[in-house]
Amino acid sequence: MSLPKPPLRDLEKAFGYTFQDAERCEQALTHRSASAQHNERLEFLGDSVLGIIVSEALFEKFPKIDEGDLSRMRATLVCGRNLAKIAQRFELGKYLVLGPGEMKSGGHRRESILADAMEALLGAMYLESDLQTCRKVVLSWFAEQLKNIQPGAGHKDPKTRLQEFLQAKQKQLPVYDVVTIQGQAHNQRFTVSCTVELLAEPVLGSGTSRRKAEQQAAAQTLTLLQEQQETNHVG
């Protein structure tokens, strides 16, 4: 038997916003495994809102930095792993609505699910407020990181880091293939495979865009390769 969920007001206090539409907030917390009324459309919207707010903040903070560095810094801030860390600060996993399979497999701790829910909550907030309200909340999440972030080569997304890992070993570059696209326009789920010669099987990633799915597949592939490398060194 699952434990009762804590009241949403506790999440809202940590999150920095009180929702007027409780049903939409609940939908933002609902994974596709639990209901047809899940959070992926809200995630799609929240992803765009997040991108514009963080882009604007970086644009204003670094008036002389070129587009390439701005893009890499934005990718560092809005990547799934970083969003999941913010979600963990809010103990967001306790509020997620998951299907039985995801509950058993620890979905409330999975980075991709936590990150998606963060974007969905932002999408829900945007629909009932405005961009200025969202900006205030989002900038509070990233305040410390925005204060400390600096341009440089350290801001690389998973696909770039995987490519560099393979190049350092003089291996072929990864191959990404779309395995499935589920759902209608603006409510699609992409599953992408990442194939590298150092692993026997392709690694799958999923997301509400091909870009997100590829980044997730790359991140998981890189983790497996690094674990394999560590095991070989120990052996």
Assess whether 47 carries a catalytic annotation.
yes
Q: Which member of 47, 102, 111, 157 is catalytic?
A: 47
Radius of gyration of the chain, Cα coordinates, nearest whole angstrom: 19
Assess whether 177 carries a catalytic annotation.
no
177 assigned to a ligand binding site: no
116 assigned to a ligand binding site: yes
43 assigned to a ligand binding site: yes
Q: Which member of 102, 111, 119, 214 is catalytic?
A: 119
Tell me the H-state helices in the chain. Answer: 8-15, 22-28, 40-61, 67-78, 80-89, 100-104, 111-128, 131-141, 143-148, 158-168, 210-234
Helix 80-89 and helix 210-234, axial crossing angle in degrees, nearest 10:
90
CA distance linking residue 144 with residue 159, whole number of Å: 26
CA distance linking residue 209 with residue 183, whole number of Å: 12
Binding-site residues from annotation = 43, 116, 119
Residues annotated as catalytic are 47, 119
Binding-site residues from annotation for Mg(2+) = 43, 116, 119
